[in-house]
Amino acid sequence: MVEIRIHGRGGQGGVTLAKLIATSRFLQGRSVQAFGLYAAERSGAPVQAFCRFDDEPITNRNLIYEPDHVVVLDPTLVALGITGGLKPGGWILLNTEESPASFAQEFRGHRVATVDATAIARGHGLGTRSVPIVNTALSGAVARILEIPLEEMLAGLAHLGFGGANVASATDAWNAVVTAEILAPPTEPSSDGARTPAPAFRGPSFVSGAGGDLPGIRTGQWASEQPGRQQYVPPCNDVCPAGNDVQGFLHALAEDRVDDGLEILLRTSPFPSVCGRVCPAPCMAECNRIQLDGAVNVRQLERLAGDEGKVELVPAEARPERVAVVGSGPAGLTAAYHLGLYGYGVTVYEAAPQVGGLLRSGIPDFRLPPEVLEREVDRIRSLDVEFITGSPVDRIRLLDLARAHDAVLVATGLQELRGLQLGVGGSDVVMQGIDFLDRVKRNEVTLNGEDVVVVGGGNTAMDAARSALRLGAATVRVVYRRTRTEMPAIEEEIVEALEEGVVIDFLTQPLSLEAEAQADGDGSVHGLRCRRMELGDPDATGRRRPVEIPGSDFDVRCTRVILALGQSPDLSVFPEGTEVREGEALLGLLETPLYAVGDLATNDGTVAAAIGSGRRAAMHIHQTLTGEVVPQGERTRVRSDVDQWNDEVIRSGALRMHLFERHPVDMGESIGMDRRATTFDEIHAGLPDAGEARRCLSCGVCNECDLCVTYCPEGVLKREGHRLVFDYAYCKGCGICVTECPRNVVFMSHL
């Protein structure tokens, strides 16, 4: 009987080599066995395989403890232990580029054969560059040293389905194997004549490595790929117009660190309580969690942080430069806030009697209570920002301010209101929506029993219609010349207006007010003549153009018409010829840098966009006045998405959605419908606690869930503070850390 022990690593094909030898013998009529000794070893772990063949039937089914020959597939396993139990005169066949003579010390008294099976396998393209498959090459070398005809070994290969490169590999190894007999040291025979007992086979020695008890062999060299860590940009961060670190503040809230959550928000925006109520929340529209069970309720969580968090602002040391801000809407106030934090002396000049812009005069109390705005304005005031109200700035005054300050920032919003010639109807019948909302705030309007028609499809139209209902109007109709899809109002506003009883006539264009149409004697009832529209081809904005349908006119009964047709900037405050462009110094004539921000410059039309614009301008001013470059945050990184799940997933930011559990969204409480349309009290009550933040998937950002650390089978991945540390000396590149990372933050790269 011939018994062979094969030393290799999981994945190298040691068992297959045993089968190849056995098969070649079996085809010659021998009795054979081929089996491996391993349990749950993974790729790269040291394993053994065995082969027996005999002319007689084999009845021994034990492991091979005293092999006739030993084959070693991997150079890193060449150690004294491999000779354990090896019978005198047995071959040690090593896969190495070295000559047998190099092993004179280790293997004295044995026959040693070497062959560079790795190079042969690589040369024939077997396996990968870092993990070549050497078993078929070694089958040729085994045949050579055991004096098995090559044809018989190749027959074994063919029988198991190996051809082409494997046959060539075996043949090359047959020719390349080098043999030598290493002389044994002179030893005294034992007195009883028994042969010296073989040393017990102990396998590779173990030393204390970086991850605890690890093999002394640096198994990391077996890896063909290595894990690393890469952060991506969460889509919510990517789209927030204010530039908020959404994932960051949600992470703090998820750990019940509400103050920290607020602190993160205050780095970018002074208005978390405001945005937490009125922002259209593009962050939620883009939230990856939509694909699972609904967007994270970011807006309400921002409100919670703003309402409940406590943070003391610490401005930088006071600077000598002074900056004037004209207009105190969210853009001007945000600029003032950041400039105040930088330490500048800031004065805000506001035409209206109170600061706040449209937050104060436009957005109704039932969506944004005045005390909420007041609280956030107070925070800005605490930075020694000076507010001068009732102080309109015109072209002459602007030049005076420029002379008296080191920089001037203009944030006057959109002051030109678009009108519509309806023929008859005085200011008591036809009102501008912005004026109407301002007067409502000052308790100057009642609409008891009136029939109100609002013209337009934006936020002003929705707020005017909802306010009219609350002021006791009998009916409120909105006429809009396009469809719901094209309405610029925030979607929630449209839904809530409809819920409250506002009727919307889509594809309807008002033409004229007919005084006598349905007069009821006192002349206060009118008919608003309207025409039906249909959508035609897209216009320059990409929206489909409304086209009149001839002969479709009809009258809508009304006592009041509120126009909400949009606004445009009033540029008369600037010297003639001034080009208004956000974030740039505009005047060549003045030395003082002048900036235009917010709706005035961008026409973005949201509070968050105005905040972002004000913040960028403040940074710009700081850079211009000091030369200091303000870091803008990383905006160039790959975004984390769900829909990138494809073959490239490992190198994209795609989330592993199957690793997240479903959990319903917390929408918070609202006041009942029975009361809603009759009160100016705030209709949403917010979230009961910050638990909703735990729904955040932390897209593309490591939130230290440490699943990778837990599942690393080798124990070579550790957390050190906020860092993940990979011990590459022992990491075999199995990639389990990657497949267990829900956010794809851990990724593999080829070596």
Ligand X SMILES: Cc1cc2nc3c(=O)[nH]c(=O)nc-3n(C[C@H](O)[C@H](O)[C@H](O)COP(=O)(O)OP(=O)(O)OC[C@H]3O[C@@H](n4cnc5c(N)ncnc54)[C@H](O)[C@@H]3O)c2cc1C
Among 273, 412, 578, 640, binds ligand X (CB under 6 A): 412
Return all residues near 577 (Cβ < 8 A) that are at least 6 apart.
Answer: none
| Distance in Å, CB of 648 to ligand X, minimum | 36
C-alpha closest to that of 733 among 717, 715, 748 = 748
Let me know if 306 is exposed, middle or buried by CB neighbors in 10 A (0-12, 13-18, 19+).
buried
Alpha helices in 54-149, H assignment, sequence order:
117-123, 135-145
Among 72, 157, 266, 279, binds ligand SF4 (CB under 6 A): 279
Beta bridge partners of 513: 423, 528
339 binds ligand X (CB under 6 A): no
> What does 502 interact with, of ligand X, ligand SF4, none (CB < 5 to 8 A by kind)?
none
Nearer to ligand SF4, 217 or 242 (CB): 242
CB count in 10 Å sphere of residue 201: 19
Alpha helices in 104-224, H assignment, sequence order:
117-123, 135-145, 150-159, 164-176
Report how far residue 509's alpha carbon sits from residue 528's, in angstroms, rounded to the nearest whole number. Answer: 10
* 8 Å CB contact between 338 and 619: yes
Site mask, ligand SF4, residues 607-636, x = CB under 6 A? -x----------------------------
Instruction: Give the residue carrying structure tokens 């060539």.
Output: 168
C-alpha closest to that of 705 among 739, 655, 740 = 740
Backbone phi, psi, residue 232, to 5°: -115, 175
DSSP-assigned letter for residue 127: B
Amino acid of residue 311: V
Backbone phi, psi, residue 715, to 5°: 65, 30
| Distance in Å, CB of 386 to ligand X, minimum | 14
C-alpha closest to that of 53 among 3, 127, 110 = 3
> What does 302 interact with, of ligand X, ligand SF4, none (CB < 5 to 8 A by kind)?
ligand SF4
Nearer to ligand X, 522 or 576 (CB): 576
Among 8, 67, 127, 234, binds ligand SF4 (CB under 6 A): 234
**Site for ligand X, residues 447 to 486, rule: CB under 6 A:** 459-460, 463
**Site for ligand SF4, residues 690 to 749, rule: CB under 6 A:** 696-699
| Structure token pair of residue 308 | 């409940």
598 binds ligand X (CB under 6 A): yes
* 8 Å CB contact between 597 and 411: yes
Q: Candidates 354-362, 416-424, 449-457, 673-681: pick the segment binding ligand X (CB under 6 A).
A: 354-362
Return all residues near 524 (Cβ < 8 A) that are at least 6 apart.
Answer: 429, 559
Beta bridge partners of 719: 724
**Site for ligand X, residues 317 to 336, rule: CB under 6 A:** 326-332
275 binds ligand SF4 (CB under 6 A): yes
DSSP sequence for 416-435: EEP----BS--TTTEEEHHH
Report the alpha-carbon angle 504-603-438, nearest 5: 60
Instruction: Give the residue carrying structure tokens 């009987």.
Output: 1
CB count in 10 Å sphere of residue 157: 20
Q: How far out from the chain centre does Cα 421 lie?
A: 50
Nearer to ligand X, 75 or 488 (CB): 488
> What does 349 interact with, of ligand SF4, ligand X, none (CB < 5 to 8 A by kind)?
ligand X
Q: Which helix (H) or strand (E) holds 684?
A: strand 684-686
Site mask, ligand SF4, residues 555-594, x = CB under 6 A? ----------------------------------------
431 binds ligand SF4 (CB under 6 A): no
Report how far residue 428's alpha carbon sits from residue 438's, in angstroms, rounded to the nearest whole number. Answer: 15
Could you tell me the end-to-end alpha-carbon distance of the chain, in angstroms, rounded to an integer? 44
**Site for ligand X, residues 265 to 284, rule: CB under 6 A:** 278-280
Nearer to ligand X, 124 or 338 (CB): 338
363 binds ligand X (CB under 6 A): yes
**Site for ligand X, residues 495 to 534, rule: CB under 6 A:** none
> What does 494 interact with, of ligand SF4, ligand X, none (CB < 5 to 8 A by kind)?
none
246 binds ligand SF4 (CB under 6 A): yes
Nearer to ligand SF4, 61 or 662 (CB): 662
| Distance in Å, CB of 523 to ligand SF4, minimum | 47
Nearer to ligand X, 407 or 507 (CB): 407
| Distance in Å, CB of 298 to ligand SF4, minimum | 5
Nearer to ligand SF4, 172 or 245 (CB): 245
Q: What is the 3-state secondary structure (H, E, C) of 702-732?
A: CCCCCHHHHHCCCCCEEEECCEEEECCCCCC
DSSP-assigned letter for residue 132: B
> What does 546 interact with, of ligand X, ligand SF4, none (CB < 5 to 8 A by kind)?
none
> What does 510 interact with, of ligand X, ligand SF4, none (CB < 5 to 8 A by kind)?
none
Q: Candidates 34-42, 154-162, 298-306, 397-405: pick the segment binding ligand SF4 (CB under 6 A).
A: 298-306
297 binds ligand X (CB under 6 A): no
* 8 Å CB contact between 470 and 677: yes
437 binds ligand X (CB under 6 A): yes
Among 244, 347, 578, 602, binds ligand SF4 (CB under 6 A): 244
Site mask, ligand X, residues 555-594, x = CB under 6 A? ------------------x---------------------
Report how far residue 131's alpha carbon sits from residue 215's, in angstroms, rounded to the nearest whole number. Answer: 19
Nearer to ligand SF4, 24 or 247 (CB): 247
Among 324, 422, 490, 587, binds ligand X (CB under 6 A): 490
* 8 Å CB contact between 575 and 400: no
Return all residues near 551 (Cβ < 8 A) that are at least 6 apart.
Answer: none
Nearer to ligand SF4, 85 or 272 (CB): 272
> What does 698 interact with, of ligand SF4, ligand X, none (CB < 5 to 8 A by kind)?
ligand SF4
Among 160, 168, 182, 351, binds ligand X (CB under 6 A): 351
Report how far residue 468's alpha carbon sits from residue 476's, in angstroms, rounded to the nearest whole number. Answer: 7
Nearer to ligand SF4, 90 or 653 (CB): 653
Beta bridge partners of 31: 54
Q: Which helix (H) or strand (E) holds 307?
A: helix 298-308
Among 235, 309, 527, 653, binds ligand SF4 (CB under 6 A): 235
Length of the chain: 751
Among 116, 172, 263, 302, binds ligand SF4 (CB under 6 A): 302
Nearer to ligand X, 366 or 747 (CB): 366
Site mask, ligand SF4, residues 501-540, x = CB under 6 A? ----------------------------------------
CB count in 10 Å sphere of residue 291: 15
Nearer to ligand X, 276 or 700 (CB): 276
Q: Candidates 281-289, 501-509, 572-580, 626-634: pick the segment binding ligand SF4 (CB under 6 A).
A: 281-289
Q: How far out from the chain centre does Cα 130 lie?
A: 33
> What does 561 interact with, of ligand X, ligand SF4, none (CB < 5 to 8 A by kind)?
none
Nearer to ligand SF4, 442 or 662 (CB): 662
Backbone phi, psi, residue 635, to 5°: -120, 0
| Structure token pair of residue 433 | 């929506």
Residues that bind ligand SF4 (CB under 6 A): 234-236, 240, 242, 244, 246-247, 250, 275, 279, 281-283, 287-289, 296, 298-299, 302, 608, 696-699
Chain residues binding ligand X by CB under 6 A are 278-280, 326-332, 349-352, 357-358, 362-363, 392-393, 411-413, 415, 434, 437, 459-460, 463, 490, 573, 598-600, 605-608, 610
